[in-house]
Amino acid sequence: MLWEVDQAVVVVGDEKKRSTTMDAALATAIQDDHLRARQVLLPSTSSPRLDNNSLPVVSFDDGDFVKSIVDPRRERRPLKKYDATNKAASNILMSPMRSAAVSGPMLREAHANVGRYLATEYVFKLIGLEGFTISHVQGHQTTGHRLRNEAETSIIALMRGGEPVAFGISDVFPQAMFVHASSADDVKKHHVQGQSNVILVDSVIDSGKSVIELIKRVVRLEPNISITVVAGVVQTEAITEGHLFAKVMRRHGAGLIALRISENKFTGTKTTDTGNRLFNTTRLA
């Protein structure tokens, strides 16, 4: 039943009167199945179930919490996305990425350029900017700008293909933490705990399966974190209303940034695989 609701809330009563088997079932659902839930103590003097990290305590006296419950279903909200598909910048940046003559370091630099462009042009639109004081070259103090909560941001590169794009993003946001992840399990609690933002980066998103697993992992470890997904190319089908990737993105309020949205369903293998081209391993394929 908790899986079907918009906001999973466990009402916890007096310890002497409540189920003695629920803790184990909840722990399994949260740890193994990535259930995202919170608990309300009724009465407020009741002892909580599990711990506050696994099952955060909230109160009906909290206006923000109540508002989050009565808000429209997130799955029905439009997917937050930005892309440069029809811009000249996309045509220029995509050319070396699509060229069969470009591989290895030159291709990695081309991907990094995409990361720098997307970070500068779009990421701030989802996360925002903040001002800080800098010394002007003319000798007075003025206001500079950086990504909002940049020092509390984690950039997670989905290996191998996402690394060069992620490095480009890191160049623009140098205070952000950088994390390598070959799978969702590579993301540990200390990578996201206490962070305000996480930027998940891949080169190409086809079905979005790998990114979905990363999103589920991140929100289990840090439920209130802001999620932004960045990719060079995203398949059109993945962001259609009924697709699982789009559903998961909307459910968790994640935003999407892509250089290009493509209807081309071609999936690279062996010599055309992005990872092999990036790292000159096509002869090993």
Looking at the domain that runs over 75-277, which CATH code has it been given?
3.40.50.2020
State pLDDT tens for residues 142-189.
Answer: 999 999 999 999 999 999 999 999 999 999 999 999 999 999 999 999
Q: Contact at 8 Å (CB) between 156 and 132?
A: no
Task: Please list the pLDDT of the chain residue by residue as tens digits (285 residues).
Answer: 565 555 788 888 888 888 878 888 888 887 766 677 888 888 888 888 887 777 888 888 887 777 766 665 555 678 999 999 999 999 999 999 989 899 999 999 999 999 999 999 999 999 999 999 999 999 999 999 999 999 999 999 999 999 999 999 999 999 999 999 999 999 999 999 999 999 999 999 999 999 999 999 999 888 889 999 999 999 999 999 889 999 999 989 999 999 999 987 755 555 557 889 998 988 776
State pLDDT tens for residues 64-98.
Answer: 777 766 665 555 678 999 999 999 999 999 999 98
Q: Could you tell me the residue ranges of all domains in the chain?
A: 7-70, 75-277
